[in-house]
Amino acid sequence: MTHSKLIPLAEAVRRYTWDGMQYASGAALPIGSDAIVFGRELLRQGRRDLHAVFHCSSQQLNLLAGAGAATKAECGFSALEVFGFANGLRRAVESGAMALEDYSNLAMPLRYLGGALNWPFVPATTNIGSDIQHRSAFAPHDTPARTKIPTVTDPFSGREIGAYSVLQPDLAAIHVTLADIRGNSIMLGTEWSRFELSRAAKKVVIIADAIVDSGCIRQFPNLVRIPDIIVEAVVHWPYAAWPQSSPGMYDVDEEHMHLMNKALATREGTDRYVADFVEGYDDPDSYLDLIGRDRLATLAKTETAFLLDPYRQWILSPDQVAGLSARGVAA
C-alpha cells in the first residue's frame, strides 16, 4: 500500500510511450497547466507518428506538431488564446504533415466521458449542423463509421441527434499541482477535462509540480480527483507546465510563450528551439537553470499563490522526494 510510483521522466516516456500510439495530454485549457515537459521528453526520445488527443492544443501539441512528431491530432481548439495562432501546429496542418480532426471544447470531454464509461457512442446535441459534423481530416477508414459524427435516433421522441465516437487514448500524461508518491492528485484551478481524461485513458502518468506527504491527501480527500488506483506512475517535475501557468504555483511566462511560438513558425526556428529548450537540459535541476532561477522566482510570485497556502506544510523538499523514488522506497 505504500509502494512509490515515483519514476524519472525519461523512464516514464520509455516505459509508457511508443511510436504510433494514441497519446493524450494538454489537459487544462489552451494555455493552462499541461504536462508540457512530457512532450519535450517525447521529442528527446525521438517518438514519431503520434496520434495526439488534446482537448486544446497547448504549447505541447504546438511543439510536437511543429517538430513533426505528431501526424494525427484531435482537438477542440488549436491555438494559444491571446498569444495567437499555434504556429507549429498551423505549419503542420497547412503543409499536410499532420491531419487535424476538429471537434469542439464540449465534444472532447464528452468523448472522454464516453470512453470512461465504455459507451459505444455519446449523444451529440452540439457540433451537429456545422461542418464539424461531417468533414473529416482523417481517412474514412480511420473512423469507426463512414461519417465522423453520424446520427442516432432517440427512441423516446423519434428525433435525430448526433453521435460522437468515444476516446480511450493509450496514455494520458496529466499535469497536476500536487500528488503523493502513489499518484493521489490534487489540481488547483479548473480541471478542464483532466477528471474525465484520467478515466478514459488506458493508462495515466501524473506529472506533478510538487510532491506532498500523504497527510495532505487524507486531510483533503475531496480534492483528490485522481485517485492512486488508476495511476501507473508519478513524475515529479517542478514548473512542468512552463511556459504555461499552473494556478497557485506560477504564472505564464509571457516572453517565452512568444519566443516559443515564433520559433515554431519555421522549420529552422523549431530546430533551434529543440536544440535549446528540448535537448538543452538533463534533469529537473538543469531544466530550471535553463529557464533561469530569477525568472522562475518572478513567475512564482503569482497573485494566485494564496491558493497553495493550505497545502504548503505537506510539500516535500527535493531531497525528500529523491529518497522516495520508486526503487528507493522502503516504508
List residues binding a second copy (CB under 8 A): 114, 117-123, 125, 144-145, 150-157, 159, 161, 163, 165, 186-189, 191, 219-223, 306-307, 309-310
Residue 56 Cβ vs a second copy, minimum distance, rounded to whole Å: 20
Residue 21 Cβ vs another protein, minimum distance, rounded to whole Å: 20
- All 3 cell numbers of residue 252? 505564464
Q: Is 90 in the site for another protein (CB under 8 A)?
A: yes
Q: Can you tell me which of 69, 75, 174, 211 binds another protein, judged by CB under 8 A?
A: 75
Exposed (0-12), middle (13-18) or buried (19+): which is 331, by Cβ within 10 Å?
A: exposed
7 binds, among a second copy, another protein, none (CB under 5 to 8 A by kind): none
- All 3 cell numbers of residue 15? 516505459
Query: Containing H/E element for 62?
Result: helix 58-66
Q: Can you tell me which of 12, 24, 31, 205 binds another protein, judged by CB under 8 A?
A: 31
State the residue for C-alpha cell 511566462: 253
| Contact window for another protein (CB under 8 A) among 8-16, 44-52, 186-194, 276-284 | 186-194
Q: What is the DSSP string of 225-287?
A: EE-GGG-SEEEE-TTTTTTS-BTTTB---HHHHHHHHHHTTSHHHHHHHHHHHTSS-SSHHHH
Is the CB of residue 56 less than 8 Å from the CB of residue 80? no
* Per-position x/- string for 102-141, each x denoting binding to another protein as judged by CB under 8 A, each - no binding: xxxxxxxxx--x--xxx------xxxxxxxx--xxx----
Q: Give the residue with the Cβ less far from another protein, 128 or 315.
A: 128
111 binds, among another protein, a second copy, none (CB under 5 to 8 A by kind): none
Q: Give the residue with the Cβ less far from a second copy, 219 or 325.
A: 219
Q: How many CB atoms lie within 10 A of CB 120?
A: 10
130 binds, among another protein, a second copy, none (CB under 5 to 8 A by kind): another protein
How far is 10 from 271, CA to CA, in rounded Å?
21
* Per-position x/- string for 255-294, each x denoting binding to another protein as judged by CB under 8 A, each - no binding: --x-------------------------------------
State the residue for C-alpha cell 460522437: 164
Q: Give the residue with the Cβ less far from a second copy, 288 or 307.
A: 307
Q: Can you tell me which of 229, 293, 309, 319 binds another protein, judged by CB under 8 A?
A: 229
Q: Is 309 in the site for another protein (CB under 8 A)?
A: no
Cα 82 to Cα 40, 75, 131, 252: the distances in Å are 23, 18, 25, 12
Sheet holding 122-124, edge to edge: 122-124, 160-164, 151-153
Beta bridge partners of 164: 122
253 binds, among a second copy, another protein, none (CB under 5 to 8 A by kind): none
